């Protein structure tokens, strides 16, 4: 069996892209606040008073991950949980003053980091790149549903190594 061309594997490329993002994030933005933590801060700047579940949906984090991110941000004093007056079982999230300042500081740094990250692309290529990333990311959200049908049966089909699936399915 011949080796597979990993440059035609989206997961391989996504991992390499994530590694580059992580390196830039930790060197240009923050070693203390992670990108998912920043996404939570950003969601709460945009919509103060969201509950934990809704914040997780807004930023694309699963239930256990969002719980851990919220906990860490709370321990750092960047957000507070306030009991929902309309539903005593639910907590609403609000940034503290330190959380607002941290978001403001990191927003400036993320803008610079994004310029470095996207430097190889022209303005038109950036628009296409973001459109494609959003489309794939949005479609992938459906994969989180464990009852959704997936292509396990595709494993049995012969495929050309490294080839992308045909548009519209098999």
Question: Which of 10-14, 34-38, 115-119 shows the lowest mean pLDDT across its residues?
Answer: 10-14
Domain membership flag for residue 2: no
Domain membership flag for residue 160: no
The domain of 30 spans: 7-143
The better pLDDT of the pair 27, 155 is held by 27
Domain membership flag for residue 107: yes
Domain membership flag for residue 125: yes
With a CB cutoff of 8 Å and minimum separation 6, the contacts of 68 are none
Total structural domains within the chain: 1
pLDDT of residue 65: 95
CATH assignment of the domain containing 137: 1.10.10.10
Q: What is the mean pLDDT of residues 148-170?
A: 46
pLDDT at 103 over 70: yes
Q: What is the mean pLDDT of residues 84-89?
A: 88
Q: What is the mean pLDDT of residues 12-27?
A: 96
Domain membership flag for residue 164: no
pLDDT at 169 over 80: no
Instruction: Give which of 115, 47, 76 is closest to 57, Cα–Cα.
Output: 47
Tokens of 98: 């330190």
The better pLDDT of the pair 141, 123 is held by 123
The better pLDDT of the pair 153, 27 is held by 27
Q: What is the mean pLDDT of residues 47-65?
A: 94
Question: Which of 30-39, 78-87, 95-104, 144-153 shows the lowest mean pLDDT across its residues?
Answer: 144-153
pLDDT at 157 over 70: no
Q: What is the mean pLDDT of residues 49-68?
A: 94
Domain membership flag for residue 168: no
With a CB cutoff of 8 Å and minimum separation 6, the contacts of 45 are 95, 100, 103
Domain membership flag for residue 156: no
Helix or strand (DSSP H, E) at 87: strand 87-95
Q: How far apart are CA 141 and CA 60, in angstroms?
A: 8
Q: What is the mean pLDDT of residues 90-118?
A: 97
Local confidence band at 148 (pLDDT 50, 70, 90 cut-offs) = very low
Q: What is the mean pLDDT of residues 112-121?
A: 97
Instruction: Give which of 111, 107, 129 is closest to 120, Cα–Cα.
Output: 129
pLDDT of residue 170: 38
pLDDT of residue 145: 60
Q: What is the mean pLDDT of residues 135-154?
A: 66
DSSP state of 51: B
Domain membership flag for residue 76: yes
3-state helix, strand, coil in the chain (%, to 5): 60, 10, 30
């Amino acid at each position: 069996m011949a080796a597979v061309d990993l440059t035609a594997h989206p997961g391989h490329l996504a991992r390499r892209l994530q590694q580059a993002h992580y390196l830039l994030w930790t060197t240009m933005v923050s070693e203390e606040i992670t990108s998912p933590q920043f996404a939570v801060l950003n969601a709460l700047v945009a919509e103060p008073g969201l509950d934990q579940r809704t914040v997780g949906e807004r930023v694309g984090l699963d239930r256990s991950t969002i719980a851990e991110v919220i906990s860490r941000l709370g321990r750092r004093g960047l957000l507070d949980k306030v009991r929902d007056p309309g539903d005593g079982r639910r907590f609403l999230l609000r940034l503290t003053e330190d959380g607002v300042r941290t978001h403001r500081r990191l927003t400036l740094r993320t803008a610079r980091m994004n310029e470095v990250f996207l430097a190889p692309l022209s303005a038109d290529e950036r628009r296409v790149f973001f459109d494609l990333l959003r489309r794939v990311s949005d479609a992938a959200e459906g994969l989180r549903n464990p009852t959704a049908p997936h292509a396990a049966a595709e494993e049995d089909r012969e495929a050309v190594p490294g080839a992308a699936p045909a548009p519209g399915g098999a």
